[in-house]
Amino acid sequence: MKINGNHHHTIWVKEDDEQIVQIIDQRALPHQLVIEDLTSVDDVFRAIKEMHVRGAPLIGVTAAFGMYFAALEAFDNQEFIHYVKASAEKLKSARPTAVNLAWAVDYQLSLLSNNPKSLPATLLENALTIKKESIERCRKIGEYGLPLIEDIYRKTQRPVNILTHCNAGWLACIDYGTATAPIYAAHDKGIPVHVWVDETRPRNQGARITAFELKEHGVPHTIITDNAGGHLMQHGKVDLVLVGTDRTTRDGDVCNKIGTYLKALAAKDNGVPFYVGAPSSSIDFSISDGLKEIPIELRGEEEVKYIQGEHEGGIKKVLLTPKESSAANYAFDVTPARLVTGLITEQGICEASRKGLVKLFH
Protein backbone atom coordinates (compact mmCIF):
# COMPACT_ATOMS: atom_id res chain seq x y z
CA MET A 1 0.00 0.00 0.00
CA LYS A 2 1.04 3.61 -0.28
CA ILE A 3 2.65 6.23 1.95
CA ASN A 4 2.93 9.68 0.35
CA GLY A 5 1.99 8.04 -2.93
CA ASN A 6 4.93 5.58 -2.80
CA HIS A 7 4.28 1.85 -2.59
CA HIS A 8 5.65 0.27 0.60
CA HIS A 9 5.82 -3.09 2.28
CA THR A 10 6.32 -3.25 6.04
CA ILE A 11 9.49 -5.36 5.79
CA TRP A 12 12.05 -5.97 3.06
CA VAL A 13 15.67 -6.97 2.46
CA LYS A 14 17.91 -3.95 1.87
CA GLU A 15 18.56 -3.55 -1.82
CA ASP A 16 22.36 -3.44 -1.70
CA ASP A 17 22.97 -5.63 1.36
CA GLU A 18 21.11 -8.87 1.89
CA GLN A 19 22.37 -9.15 5.46
CA ILE A 20 20.19 -6.19 6.45
CA VAL A 21 16.43 -6.42 6.81
CA GLN A 22 14.54 -3.14 6.94
CA ILE A 23 11.27 -2.38 8.69
CA ILE A 24 8.99 0.56 9.30
CA ASP A 25 9.30 1.36 13.02
CA GLN A 26 5.61 1.62 13.85
CA ARG A 27 6.19 3.29 17.20
CA ALA A 28 6.76 6.57 15.40
CA LEU A 29 3.61 6.48 13.24
CA PRO A 30 1.73 8.55 12.26
CA HIS A 31 4.08 11.41 13.07
CA GLN A 32 7.31 10.16 11.52
CA LEU A 33 8.22 7.54 8.93
CA VAL A 34 11.23 5.82 10.51
CA ILE A 35 12.97 3.01 8.65
CA GLU A 36 15.00 0.73 10.90
CA ASP A 37 17.75 -1.76 10.03
CA LEU A 38 17.67 -5.21 11.62
CA THR A 39 20.90 -7.22 11.47
CA SER A 40 20.72 -9.84 14.22
CA VAL A 41 18.48 -12.21 16.18
CA ASP A 42 18.65 -9.75 19.09
CA ASP A 43 17.46 -6.90 16.85
CA VAL A 44 14.53 -9.00 15.64
CA PHE A 45 13.63 -10.12 19.16
CA ARG A 46 13.61 -6.49 20.39
CA ALA A 47 11.69 -5.21 17.36
CA ILE A 48 8.92 -7.77 17.99
CA LYS A 49 8.83 -7.49 21.78
CA GLU A 50 8.88 -3.68 21.87
CA MET A 51 6.44 -3.50 18.96
CA HIS A 52 8.55 -1.70 16.35
CA VAL A 53 6.74 -4.30 14.25
CA ARG A 54 3.38 -5.64 15.33
CA GLY A 55 0.32 -7.43 14.03
CA ALA A 56 0.20 -11.21 13.78
CA PRO A 57 1.19 -11.71 10.11
CA LEU A 58 4.02 -9.16 10.30
CA ILE A 59 5.58 -10.57 13.46
CA GLY A 60 5.50 -14.00 11.82
CA VAL A 61 7.38 -12.77 8.76
CA THR A 62 9.83 -10.75 10.88
CA ALA A 63 10.58 -13.84 12.98
CA ALA A 64 11.19 -15.81 9.77
CA PHE A 65 13.91 -13.27 8.89
CA GLY A 66 15.13 -13.60 12.49
CA MET A 67 15.73 -17.29 11.82
CA TYR A 68 17.79 -16.31 8.77
CA PHE A 69 19.96 -14.16 11.06
CA ALA A 70 20.22 -17.12 13.46
CA ALA A 71 21.66 -19.21 10.61
CA LEU A 72 24.13 -16.43 9.71
CA GLU A 73 25.20 -16.06 13.34
CA ALA A 74 25.46 -19.81 13.84
CA PHE A 75 27.82 -20.11 10.91
CA ASP A 76 30.92 -19.48 13.10
CA ASN A 77 29.50 -21.27 16.07
CA GLN A 78 30.65 -24.76 17.06
CA GLU A 79 27.23 -25.57 18.45
CA PHE A 80 25.61 -24.71 15.12
CA ILE A 81 22.32 -26.61 15.45
CA HIS A 82 22.01 -25.77 19.13
CA TYR A 83 22.43 -22.04 18.38
CA VAL A 84 19.71 -22.03 15.73
CA LYS A 85 17.30 -23.93 17.98
CA ALA A 86 18.00 -21.65 20.96
CA SER A 87 17.39 -18.61 18.72
CA ALA A 88 14.08 -20.13 17.65
CA GLU A 89 12.97 -20.44 21.29
CA LYS A 90 14.08 -16.89 21.99
CA LEU A 91 12.15 -15.50 19.02
CA LYS A 92 9.04 -17.48 19.92
CA SER A 93 9.12 -16.07 23.44
CA ALA A 94 9.03 -12.45 22.22
CA ARG A 95 5.22 -12.37 22.14
CA PRO A 96 3.12 -15.37 23.14
CA THR A 97 -0.36 -14.81 21.70
CA ALA A 98 -0.15 -14.55 17.90
CA VAL A 99 0.34 -18.05 16.53
CA ASN A 100 1.93 -16.70 13.35
CA LEU A 101 5.17 -16.15 15.26
CA ALA A 102 5.61 -19.78 16.33
CA TRP A 103 4.23 -20.95 12.99
CA ALA A 104 6.87 -19.05 10.99
CA VAL A 105 9.74 -20.01 13.31
CA ASP A 106 8.73 -23.70 13.21
CA TYR A 107 8.44 -23.55 9.42
CA GLN A 108 12.03 -22.27 9.28
CA LEU A 109 13.17 -24.92 11.80
CA SER A 110 11.69 -27.64 9.61
CA LEU A 111 14.35 -26.71 7.01
CA LEU A 112 17.21 -27.12 9.45
CA SER A 113 20.02 -29.20 8.01
CA ASN A 114 23.47 -30.10 9.20
CA ASN A 115 25.03 -27.94 6.54
CA PRO A 116 25.93 -24.55 8.01
CA LYS A 117 27.03 -23.31 4.59
CA SER A 118 23.73 -23.61 2.80
CA LEU A 119 21.36 -22.85 5.68
CA PRO A 120 21.41 -19.01 5.56
CA ALA A 121 20.48 -19.01 1.86
CA THR A 122 17.75 -21.59 2.45
CA LEU A 123 16.22 -19.65 5.34
CA LEU A 124 16.45 -16.33 3.50
CA GLU A 125 14.69 -17.81 0.50
CA ASN A 126 12.00 -19.32 2.70
CA ALA A 127 11.51 -16.07 4.65
CA LEU A 128 10.91 -14.36 1.30
CA THR A 129 8.45 -17.09 0.35
CA ILE A 130 6.60 -16.72 3.68
CA LYS A 131 6.44 -12.98 3.02
CA LYS A 132 5.09 -13.49 -0.49
CA GLU A 133 2.50 -16.01 0.66
CA SER A 134 1.42 -13.71 3.45
CA ILE A 135 0.73 -10.94 0.93
CA GLU A 136 -1.27 -13.30 -1.26
CA ARG A 137 -3.39 -14.51 1.68
CA CYS A 138 -4.35 -10.92 2.46
CA ARG A 139 -5.13 -10.18 -1.18
CA LYS A 140 -7.47 -13.17 -1.29
CA ILE A 141 -9.16 -12.12 1.96
CA GLY A 142 -9.89 -8.82 0.22
CA GLU A 143 -11.34 -10.65 -2.75
CA TYR A 144 -13.57 -12.92 -0.63
CA GLY A 145 -14.64 -10.16 1.77
CA LEU A 146 -15.58 -7.65 -0.93
CA PRO A 147 -19.06 -9.15 -1.69
CA LEU A 148 -20.07 -8.66 1.97
CA ILE A 149 -19.61 -4.91 1.54
CA GLU A 150 -21.08 -4.89 -1.98
CA ASP A 151 -24.24 -6.63 -0.70
CA ILE A 152 -24.79 -4.05 2.04
CA TYR A 153 -24.29 -1.23 -0.45
CA ARG A 154 -26.72 -2.79 -2.92
CA LYS A 155 -29.38 -2.91 -0.20
CA THR A 156 -28.79 0.50 1.41
CA GLN A 157 -27.51 2.63 -1.48
CA ARG A 158 -25.53 4.78 0.98
CA PRO A 159 -21.95 4.58 2.28
CA VAL A 160 -21.31 1.32 4.12
CA ASN A 161 -20.29 1.94 7.75
CA ILE A 162 -17.68 -0.52 8.95
CA LEU A 163 -16.27 -0.64 12.47
CA THR A 164 -12.76 -1.99 13.05
CA HIS A 165 -10.66 -2.51 16.14
CA CYS A 166 -6.88 -2.24 16.56
CA ASN A 167 -4.87 -2.24 13.36
CA ALA A 168 -5.49 -5.26 11.19
CA GLY A 169 -4.34 -3.32 8.16
CA TRP A 170 -1.40 -3.53 5.82
CA LEU A 171 0.94 -2.24 8.51
CA ALA A 172 0.05 -5.27 10.65
CA CYS A 173 0.78 -7.50 7.65
CA ILE A 174 2.99 -6.90 4.65
CA ASP A 175 0.41 -5.46 2.29
CA TYR A 176 -3.42 -5.11 2.04
CA GLY A 177 -4.12 -6.15 5.67
CA THR A 178 -6.64 -8.74 6.82
CA ALA A 179 -9.67 -6.84 8.15
CA THR A 180 -8.86 -3.88 5.91
CA ALA A 181 -8.32 -5.86 2.70
CA PRO A 182 -12.07 -6.01 1.84
CA ILE A 183 -12.38 -2.32 2.74
CA TYR A 184 -9.59 -1.31 0.35
CA ALA A 185 -11.02 -3.60 -2.33
CA ALA A 186 -14.45 -1.97 -1.97
CA HIS A 187 -13.04 1.57 -1.94
CA ASP A 188 -10.91 0.85 -5.01
CA LYS A 189 -14.01 -0.48 -6.79
CA GLY A 190 -15.86 2.77 -6.14
CA ILE A 191 -18.17 1.47 -3.40
CA PRO A 192 -18.58 4.23 -0.82
CA VAL A 193 -17.33 3.10 2.57
CA HIS A 194 -16.81 4.86 5.87
CA VAL A 195 -14.76 3.29 8.66
CA TRP A 196 -15.28 3.78 12.40
CA VAL A 197 -11.78 3.38 13.83
CA ASP A 198 -11.59 2.28 17.49
CA GLU A 199 -8.69 4.16 19.07
CA THR A 200 -7.56 0.90 20.77
CA ARG A 201 -6.03 1.81 24.09
CA PRO A 202 -3.40 1.51 25.40
CA ARG A 203 -1.10 1.50 22.33
CA ASN A 204 -3.66 3.29 20.15
CA GLN A 205 -3.06 1.14 17.09
CA GLY A 206 -6.40 2.32 15.68
CA ALA A 207 -5.99 6.04 16.30
CA ARG A 208 -2.36 6.06 15.16
CA ILE A 209 -1.95 3.34 12.58
CA THR A 210 -5.32 2.37 11.08
CA ALA A 211 -6.25 6.05 10.75
CA PHE A 212 -2.89 6.73 9.08
CA GLU A 213 -3.37 3.88 6.60
CA LEU A 214 -6.90 4.88 5.70
CA LYS A 215 -5.92 8.54 5.35
CA GLU A 216 -3.02 7.63 3.03
CA HIS A 217 -5.38 5.54 0.87
CA GLY A 218 -8.13 8.18 0.87
CA VAL A 219 -10.72 6.04 2.69
CA PRO A 220 -13.25 8.13 4.69
CA HIS A 221 -12.95 7.32 8.38
CA THR A 222 -13.68 8.62 11.87
CA ILE A 223 -11.69 7.78 15.00
CA ILE A 224 -13.86 6.88 17.98
CA THR A 225 -13.12 6.11 21.61
CA ASP A 226 -13.02 2.43 22.44
CA ASN A 227 -16.32 2.63 24.27
CA ALA A 228 -18.32 4.30 21.49
CA GLY A 229 -18.98 1.25 19.29
CA GLY A 230 -21.95 -0.10 21.26
CA HIS A 231 -23.70 3.26 21.14
CA LEU A 232 -23.16 3.55 17.39
CA MET A 233 -24.52 0.05 16.82
CA GLN A 234 -27.64 0.78 18.90
CA HIS A 235 -28.32 3.74 16.61
CA GLY A 236 -27.91 1.84 13.34
CA LYS A 237 -24.62 3.53 12.48
CA VAL A 238 -22.61 0.35 11.97
CA ASP A 239 -23.41 -2.04 9.09
CA LEU A 240 -20.55 -4.43 9.61
CA VAL A 241 -17.74 -5.13 12.10
CA LEU A 242 -14.47 -6.32 10.56
CA VAL A 243 -11.53 -7.27 12.77
CA GLY A 244 -8.35 -9.32 12.52
CA THR A 245 -7.11 -12.19 14.66
CA ASP A 246 -3.92 -13.22 16.41
CA ARG A 247 -5.02 -16.78 16.93
CA THR A 248 -8.21 -18.59 15.95
CA THR A 249 -8.85 -22.10 17.24
CA ARG A 250 -10.05 -25.02 15.13
CA ASP A 251 -13.49 -24.52 16.73
CA GLY A 252 -13.59 -20.88 15.66
CA ASP A 253 -12.84 -18.98 18.89
CA VAL A 254 -11.12 -15.76 17.90
CA CYS A 255 -8.35 -14.16 19.93
CA ASN A 256 -7.65 -10.55 18.98
CA LYS A 257 -6.70 -7.20 20.53
CA ILE A 258 -8.22 -6.53 23.94
CA GLY A 259 -11.71 -5.09 23.54
CA THR A 260 -12.66 -7.14 20.49
CA TYR A 261 -14.93 -9.35 22.64
CA LEU A 262 -16.97 -6.36 23.82
CA LYS A 263 -17.48 -5.28 20.20
CA ALA A 264 -18.68 -8.78 19.34
CA LEU A 265 -21.17 -8.73 22.24
CA ALA A 266 -22.53 -5.38 21.14
CA ALA A 267 -22.71 -6.56 17.52
CA LYS A 268 -24.68 -9.67 18.54
CA ASP A 269 -27.09 -7.62 20.65
CA ASN A 270 -27.74 -5.27 17.75
CA GLY A 271 -27.84 -7.76 14.88
CA VAL A 272 -24.69 -6.35 13.27
CA PRO A 273 -22.63 -8.94 11.33
CA PHE A 274 -19.23 -9.55 12.94
CA TYR A 275 -16.58 -10.91 10.54
CA VAL A 276 -12.94 -11.77 11.12
CA GLY A 277 -10.17 -11.56 8.52
CA ALA A 278 -8.37 -14.80 9.34
CA PRO A 279 -5.46 -15.98 7.19
CA SER A 280 -4.65 -19.67 7.72
CA SER A 281 -1.34 -18.65 9.32
CA SER A 282 -3.41 -17.25 12.23
CA ILE A 283 -5.46 -20.43 12.69
CA ASP A 284 -4.15 -22.77 15.37
CA PHE A 285 -5.53 -26.16 14.40
CA SER A 286 -3.88 -27.74 17.45
CA ILE A 287 -6.25 -26.18 19.98
CA SER A 288 -10.01 -25.93 20.31
CA ASP A 289 -10.92 -23.88 23.38
CA GLY A 290 -9.72 -20.30 23.01
CA LEU A 291 -10.50 -19.27 26.57
CA LYS A 292 -8.57 -22.12 28.13
CA GLU A 293 -5.80 -22.68 25.65
CA ILE A 294 -4.63 -19.34 24.24
CA PRO A 295 -1.91 -17.60 26.25
CA ILE A 296 -2.89 -13.96 26.76
CA GLU A 297 0.04 -11.57 26.73
CA LEU A 298 0.29 -9.34 29.78
CA ARG A 299 2.29 -6.22 28.89
CA GLY A 300 3.93 -3.59 31.08
CA GLU A 301 1.79 -1.20 33.10
CA GLU A 302 3.60 1.86 31.73
CA GLU A 303 1.69 1.41 28.44
CA VAL A 304 -1.53 2.12 30.35
CA LYS A 305 -0.18 4.82 32.61
CA TYR A 306 1.56 6.89 29.93
CA ILE A 307 0.28 8.14 26.60
CA GLN A 308 2.41 9.05 23.60
CA GLY A 309 1.91 11.78 21.04
CA GLU A 310 3.54 14.49 18.98
CA HIS A 311 4.56 17.79 20.53
CA GLU A 312 6.53 20.54 18.79
CA GLY A 313 7.99 18.17 16.24
CA GLY A 314 9.06 15.46 18.68
CA ILE A 315 7.37 12.33 20.01
CA LYS A 316 6.65 12.69 23.72
CA LYS A 317 5.26 10.44 26.45
CA VAL A 318 3.21 11.90 29.26
CA LEU A 319 1.92 10.42 32.50
CA LEU A 320 -1.85 10.02 32.49
CA THR A 321 -2.56 8.47 35.89
CA PRO A 322 -1.48 8.91 39.49
CA LYS A 323 2.13 7.75 39.45
CA GLU A 324 1.47 5.47 42.45
CA SER A 325 -1.57 3.66 40.96
CA SER A 326 -0.94 0.26 39.50
CA ALA A 327 -2.32 -0.74 36.11
CA ALA A 328 -3.04 -4.06 34.39
CA ASN A 329 -2.38 -4.42 30.69
CA TYR A 330 -4.04 -7.49 29.16
CA ALA A 331 -3.17 -7.27 25.48
CA PHE A 332 -5.74 -9.66 23.95
CA ASP A 333 -9.10 -11.26 24.60
CA VAL A 334 -11.04 -14.19 23.18
CA THR A 335 -14.32 -13.85 21.31
CA PRO A 336 -16.20 -17.16 21.47
CA ALA A 337 -17.13 -18.64 18.09
CA ARG A 338 -20.86 -18.23 18.80
CA LEU A 339 -20.44 -14.43 18.49
CA VAL A 340 -18.61 -14.58 15.16
CA THR A 341 -20.71 -14.37 11.99
CA GLY A 342 -17.94 -15.71 9.79
CA LEU A 343 -14.22 -16.07 9.14
CA ILE A 344 -12.87 -14.55 5.93
CA THR A 345 -9.90 -16.69 4.95
CA GLU A 346 -7.76 -16.94 1.81
CA GLN A 347 -9.83 -20.01 0.87
CA GLY A 348 -13.20 -18.30 1.22
CA ILE A 349 -15.66 -17.39 3.95
CA CYS A 350 -16.70 -20.00 6.49
CA GLU A 351 -18.67 -20.41 9.66
CA ALA A 352 -16.54 -19.96 12.80
CA SER A 353 -16.69 -23.65 13.69
CA ARG A 354 -14.79 -26.87 13.21
CA LYS A 355 -17.25 -27.86 10.49
CA GLY A 356 -16.74 -24.56 8.68
CA LEU A 357 -12.96 -24.68 8.89
CA VAL A 358 -12.76 -28.34 7.85
CA LYS A 359 -14.77 -27.55 4.71
CA LEU A 360 -12.14 -25.01 3.65
CA PHE A 361 -8.95 -26.55 5.01
CA HIS A 362 -9.69 -30.30 5.16
> Considering only CA atoms, which of 279, 292, 327, 282 is closest in space to residue 307?
327
Distance in Å, CB of 62 to ligand MRU, minimum? 11
What is the chain's Cα-based Rg? 20
Q: Judged by CB, which is closer to ligand MRU: 41, or 138?
A: 138
The verdict on 148 binding ligand MRU (CB under 6 A) reads: no
| Residue 181 binds to ligand MRU (criterion: CB under 6 A) | no
Of 108, 205, 249, 345, which one interacts with ligand MRU (CB under 6 A)? 205
Q: Which residues pair with 262 in a beta bridge?
A: none
Stretch in the footprint of ligand MRU (CB under 6 A) among 40-48, 127-135, 164-172, 348-356: 164-172
Catalytic site residue from 246, 253, 284, 333: 246
Is residue 254 within 8 Å of 291, Cβ to Cβ? no
How near is the Cβ of 221 to ligand MRU at its closest, in Å?
Answer: 16
CB 186 within 8 A of CB 154: no
Confirm or reject binding of residue 52 to ligand MRU (CB under 6 A).
no
Q: How far is CA 129 from CA 84, 136, 184, 271, in A?
A: 20, 11, 24, 40
Residues 56-73 as b/e (b if ≥16 CB within 10 A, e otherwise) read: bbbbbbbbbbbbbbbbbb
CB atoms within 10 A of CB 333: 19
Torsion angles phi and psi, residue 355, rounded to 5: -60, -45
Q: CA 297: distance to chain centroid?
A: 15
| Binding segment (CB under 6 A) for ligand MRU, from list 1-9, 72-80, 167-175, 318-326 | 167-175
Residue 134 vs 161, nearer CB to ligand MRU:
134
Going from the C-alpha of 331 to that of each of 65, 103, 238, the distances in angstroms are 25, 20, 25
**Which value, to the nearest 10 degrees, does the dihedral of the CA atoms of residues 100, 104, 106, 111 take?**
160
> Does residue 104 interact with ligand MRU by CB under 6 A?
no
Beta bridge partners of 349: 344
Residue of 10, 62, 178, 345 that binds ligand MRU (CB under 6 A): 178
Indicate the residue among 205 and 249 with the shorter CB distance to ligand MRU.
205
Residue 347 CB, shortest distance to ligand MRU, in Å, is 17
Site for ligand MRU in 229-268 (CB under 6 A): 244-246, 256-257
Q: How far is the CB of 18 from ligand MRU (least distance, A)?
A: 27
- Interface positions, 270-309, toward ligand MRU (CB under 6 A): none
| Minimum separation from the CB atom of position 79 to ligand MRU (A) | 32
Give the C-alpha separation, 93 to 45, whole Å. Answer: 9
Q: Tell me the residue nearest to ligand MRU as measured from the CB.
A: 244
Q: How far apart are CA 247 and CA 59, in angstroms?
A: 13
Q: Is 204 in the site for ligand MRU (CB under 6 A)?
A: no
Number of H helices, E strands in the chain: 12, 18
CB of 115 to ligand MRU, least distance (A): 35
Question: Given the complex with ligand MRU, which of 80 and 140 has the nearer CB atom?
Answer: 140
Among 72, 74, 160, 168, the residue binding ligand MRU under the rule CB under 6 A is: 168
Answer yes or no whether residue 142 interacts with ligand MRU by CB under 6 A: no
Q: Could you tell me how many residues of this chain bind ligand MRU (CB under 6 A)?
A: 18
Q: Minimum Å distance from CB 105 to ligand MRU?
A: 16
198 is catalytic: no
* CA-based nearest residue to 263, from 295, 248, 288, 241: 241
Catalytic residue numbers read: 246
Which residues lie near ligand MRU (CB under 6 A)? 54-57, 98, 166, 168, 172-173, 177-178, 205, 244-246, 256-257, 331
